[in-house]
Structure 1
């Protein structure tokens, strides 16, 4: 009798393939033939291959961090990790993602073939890089122990609204990301926000390099270009439930694929992405034994934990509560961490 555990898989978004992740495809991607097929798509578009990017001697932000390369690397790393899961020990009950991680979720959940999902992610990354409209800033609203302060969040959102009302200023909430707010807009709006908030920890407000004003109305031209470039046939019925950036579930056998296409290239591109709501839905609708964050990177784990705290999952109300619960479990596995990866791959769960 096997100890098969249920899991929600969470696909990361932009900014997760960095210097530490260089070479991760060569180390972990389980299907060389599939990787070659993905690279054939890149080559047909005149783009540098994943093998060359991942096999570079050193990581450079100007090369690996630009949208047309980063999106493809992140999608491939995510897909490779999903394909590496120990099926005998893990039962995936739902898939979700953060931001461009939605494109990865489509492929992992079977709503798109690996090649079709890659085509969507690669195309949208290329279009967004070519346009590079606006930018993003990250700023925290939880304290260092991840205790929620709703009044602080409300004040920050009120500030964003106030700035957006100023002439020539565009600013809105881009991603509700656990204990972080990702705001996006034009240069005037971003600069006004940076000037208005208190510096924290020598890091915040953090302007994200090579990031456009994702999930805002500023991306409407990119949305239109994506629809023109990407066929509706690329997206079909999912095999696994998917949770989108509103917390809405797309069920196998019951999803309107035209609506799924419209959401993917419409709302998902031009409206706020509520990652916190997605994790809340995952927790309360599927109640998994594990939340598995695929690679690349390890930065999304803390945000997932914060979102679980905001969901009052298992009564957790702070970072120390999460750490205590995690020590008994774990309930959260980050595949980007070598010591955690073995819990869910290569039958490591049975060891």
Structure 2
């Protein structure tokens, strides 16, 4: 029987929350790689992932970049290893924001150890920045489509207050900037389906305000950690890095330059992923499944497989899921034996 093709998506920050506490213990207890990651953390004098994941209660410490980034990376990487390769062929890998570091490891552009070290180190480096934060705007309506006129109004307000795009996320837009600018911008917005949500503990990611983080990363992570990806790797611009034609210096430069300092266009990455590789399914790695809505909104905007509304997407997911979220127990068993 022919294998089904899958596009793998790696999640970013904000996907390990209270419901995900214990994810590593539930799904990856006894994993050799988890033991290695714990050892790397222990040698650096940091709390192990097993201890963080096995805590009796979810606390604000779990949301700090130095803990959240390696937790999310480990959950996603270990999920990736469990995809049934006898039944599924991975044709491309992408990720959202911090998920780019996980995507590098999944695609084989860096080793598993180096991938974890990058995710772990960037959890700390991401806290080095000029003052500022992020705010999430839901532009999509109840049907998960975006009114172009509303989008234009929001962009005009951004220009008036010097607020920058941070992540383009389907029917959502994450913006970033100094706190005072975000405060004034949020008061000047047209009516939205939901109030803007300021992300606690997040800096002005994917903007020039992250220059200190970029400088620290370039000094910490050498270019010789990078190699050509073994499977196509789609970055936050929609560029595809392919085996035999990718320059590792350029991949290193993108990872610790543009990827940190410029907007991350997850919408473009997903659009290229589905159009260029036409996968039979999309597999969203755990933990959590908050990225599922954004992926659904991209499919609707592109009318992929004639899916043109939220109700059509929901119906398709109920019949034979195109999007498989490994953070959902009901869908996990589709691709993991």
> TM-score scaled to structure 2, two decimals?
0.96
The 3-state SS of whatever aligns with 1:211 is coil
> Residues 62-211 of structure 1: matches in 2 within 5 Å?
62-131=60-129, 133-164=131-162, 171-197=163-189, 200=192, 204-211=195-202
The answer to whether the 8 A contact 1:132-1:211 is kept is no
**In the aligned structure 2, how far is the partner of 1:283 from the partner of 1:154?**
26
Greater shift, 287-296 or 45-54, is seen at: 45-54
**In the aligned structure 1, how far is the partner of 2:29 from the partner of 2:260?**
30
Query: Match for residue 6 of structure 2?
Result: 7
**In the aligned structure 1, how far is the partner of 2:248 from the partner of 2:81?**
24
> Residues 228-267 of structure 1: matches in 2 within 5 Å?
228-267=219-258
The answer to whether the 8 A contact 1:316-1:322 is kept is yes
The 3-state SS of whatever aligns with 1:41 is helix
Query: Match for residue 212 of structure 2?
Result: 221
2:61 corresponds to 1:26: no
Count the aligned residue pairs: 337
Greater shift, 256-265 or 315-324, is seen at: 315-324
Per-residue CA shift, 1:241-299, capped at 9, x if unaligned?
01000011000121111000000000000000000000000010000000110001010
Query: Match for residue 46 of structure 1?
Result: 45
Query: Match for residue 299 of structure 2?
Result: 308
Greater shift, 51-60 or 308-317, is seen at: 308-317
The answer to whether the 8 A contact 1:199-1:205 is kept is no
The answer to whether the 8 A contact 1:7-1:93 is kept is yes
The 3-state SS of whatever aligns with 1:343 is helix
Per-residue CA shift, 1:51-85, capped at 9, x if unaligned?
1100100101x210000100000000000110111
After TM superposition, give the deviation of residue 221 of structure 1 in Å.
1.1
> Is there any run of 5+ residues in structure 2 with no aligned partner, and where?
none
The 3-state SS of whatever aligns with 1:129 is coil
The answer to whether the 8 A contact 1:133-1:219 is kept is no
The answer to whether the 8 A contact 1:75-1:101 is kept is yes
After TM superposition, give the deviation of residue 35 of structure 1 in Å.
1.1
Query: Match for residue 293 of structure 1?
Result: 284
After TM superposition, give the deviation of residue 33 of structure 1 in Å.
1.9
**In the aligned structure 1, how far is the partner of 2:24 from the partner of 2:245?**
34
Per-residue CA shift, 1:120-149, capped at 9, x if unaligned?
111111112354741100011111111221
Query: Match for residue 349 of structure 1?
Result: none
Per-residue CA shift, 1:65-121, capped at 9, x if unaligned?
000100000000000110111111111100000000000000011111111011111
**In the aligned structure 2, how far is the partner of 1:98 from the partner of 1:27?**
24
After TM superposition, give the deviation of residue 315 of structure 1 in Å.
2.5
> TM-score scaled to structure 1, two decimals?
0.93
**In the aligned structure 1, how far is the partner of 2:30 from the partner of 2:76?**
13
The answer to whether the 8 A contact 2:154-2:190 is kept is no
After TM superposition, give the deviation of residue 190 of structure 1 in Å.
1.1
After TM superposition, give the deviation of residue 334 of structure 1 in Å.
0.5
RMSD: 1.5
Query: Match for residue 330 of structure 1?
Result: 321
Change beyond 3 A, Cα 1:183–1:243: same
